[in-house]
Chain A
Amino acid sequence: MTETILLITALVFYLLSLILQLTVPDRKQGQYALFLAVSVHLGLLAVRSAAAGHPPFTNIYETFLLLPFLTGLRLILWPKQSDRPLRAILTGVAGVFLLVALFLPGDLKVIKPLMPALNSFWMYIHVPAYFLGYMALIVALVYALMILFARDKARAGERERKMEAEIRITFFFLNLGLLTGAIWAYVSWGNYWSWDPKETWALINILILAFVLHLHRPTARKKAWIVILTAFSVAFTYWGVSFILSGLHSYT
């Protein structure tokens, strides 16, 4: 009950922040509302962690709570890194994730005991590495969509540079996630790579994103389309693999 109340409260504050950022962009109220949203969101994660007995990233519901939190936290800690349109979009994205979390089926929200293989300190490196990468990918995706569809083309060059920076961050963290996952698999299962569907799709994500760094005559639009394709691939890795393909990583 407390968890749901905190979730709804955080969602309301994200929505309020979004409205303020859009209606009174020159004032700081939007940023204050965002700060409140992220604070309540932190409380939500703390409550969930206390109830579960472990950090909130072992199932899909918990990851729907964690990813928007990282996005919101980034906006709070580095506000000048993002321009106003990006801040508003990312605030909206964080709200959408929480909205989805709110309406996920109950059986996906149930706290399940951790399997022995998950009881490892590598979980605290492998999973956060991936989530930091996904967070950077969301930012890169927003820039990609701006490059392709925004009417204001004057800032295209700046957006391309920022998108490239986010791509590099994403690429690094996806590789870090893959490597730490391999180490963890080696320690737990004795096999650092078993072509499990989740592992294979994690590799596919990196290979797709690597194309950005290996383009012949790279243009902003080409990079943007590859980022969008990577985002679809990551979305499939995140949800599709768990529900459609089976394997060692089917943690729903």
Chain B
Amino acid sequence: MGKKPSWRTVGLRAFQVLGILILVFLTISTFIPQRNEFPPGEYPGEISRPLRLLFLDRFYDSPLNAALWIALSLMLIAAVMFNGIRSFRQKILHLMLAAVFLLVAADKSGNERFFITLREGETISLDNYVSHRADAHNVDLTLKRFEIEMHTDGRTPRAFRSYLRINGGRPAVLSVNDPLAVGRYRLYQSAYEKHFYFVVNVNDTLYEATFGDTLPSPSGPVALDAYDHRSRRFRMMKDDTAFYVPLETPVVKHHSEWYISPQGEHYSSVIEVAEVSGLRWLLAAGLAYLAVMAWDFWLSRKRRRKK
């Protein structure tokens, strides 16, 4: 009769199987476009049913991914508690690792993170974006000015920063790699958007507009939709019907005279806002994990040298 495997062996095998599952899912998921990378309804193509059932088109936010990592953490804790791991240093190491995984899971599910886009002069209230109102801090942000510095090639940004006013009073500068703490939130200078602005003359009334803006006209609102570089004309939309206005050429349409000329570029600041509670514990656990690993490797090496 074969020898019955010990609980230690069973635990190790289970850990190996779980590890392989995580590896396989992670590897496959990197080759499949994830739904959260696309706006709703714009996911390219159709994905097969088995891949959908395994959440592979939305793996990272799926309960399957969370379950695998939580299972791994519990397995690490169990290995320590039931003496599957015998060395004291290794016990600390694996507990630190379990702590890191569980803290990440808690942070990813609990803390909020969102993007805001601010035009110069615009004010927004962060609380309008926060889903749990109990954490509202009445934080109003105004973008006073957006500044961008280019490298000598004139095409690549070297630095960009937002000059903000917080709650109408406190001025602050937000730049890349230099986040701002505002109450429970942290602001990150994530990106920027460039908008081309035009002066639209509608029956001798001037409007400053960019693509997507709606302009008043006697026959109803008209949207400045797009510009075609080849034909050098703007596409305007009124009631889902398009008409065209050539650049710097007057056109009479829908009982109005239209004249569009370029005005210049404006920038919008794209700011990521994140809640940060608990992250210092995560960082501490990560650093402790590395320190214990280095200590364990160094002591093992010392012991091998003595032998």
Contacts and interface: CB of A to CB of B under 8 A. Distances in A.
A200 B19 contact: no
B12 interface: yes
Interface stretch (B40-48, B244-252, B285-293): B285-293
Contacts of B23: 204, 207-208
Contact of B188 (A114, A161, A188, A200): A188
Contacts of B283: 183
A235 interface: no
B294 interface: yes
Nearest to B178: A187
Chain B residues touching A, range: 35 or more
A171 B93 CA distance: 14
Given A179-B286, A191-B274, A119 B60 contact: no
A175 B293 contact: yes
A119 B304 CA distance: 42
Given A200-B30, A201-B30, A203-B26, A214 B159 contact: no
B15 interface: yes
A193 B304 CA distance: 37
A179 B12 CA distance: 26
Interface of A is mostly: helix
B255 interface: no
Nearest to B24: A204
Nearest to A120: B177
A211 B156 contact: no
Contacts of A216: 9, 12-13, 16
Interface of B is mostly: helix
Interface in B148-175: 151-153, 156-160, 175
Given A113-B151, A207-B19, A193 B297 contact: no
A28 interface: no
Interface string A99-117: 0000000000000111111
A115 B12 CA distance: 45
Given A190-B272, A216-B9, A113 B22 contact: no
A101 B124 CA distance: 50
B12 A116 contact: no
Contacts of B156: 112-113, 115
A163 interface: no
Contacts of A116: 157-160, 175-177
A161 B304 contact: yes
A251 interface: no
Interface in B265-279: 272-274, 279
Interface string A171-190: 11001100100110011111
B104 interface: yes
Q: Top 5 A-B pairs ranked by shortest CB distance? A: A190-B188, A113-B151, A116-B176, A195-B60, A190-B272
Interface of B: 9, 12-13, 15-16, 19, 22-23, 26-27, 29-31, 34, 60, 104, 108, 113, 151-153, 156-160, 175-179, 186-188, 190, 272-274, 279, 282-283, 286-287, 289-290, 293-294, 297, 300-301, 304
Given A191-B272, A207-B26, 11 more contacts: A115-B157, A117-B176, A119-B159, A175-B293, A187-B177, A190-B186, A200-B26, A200-B30, A203-B26, A207-B23, A208-B23
Interface of A: 112-117, 119-120, 161, 165, 168-169, 171-172, 175-176, 179, 182-183, 186-193, 195, 197, 200-201, 203-204, 207-208, 210-211, 214, 216, 241, 245
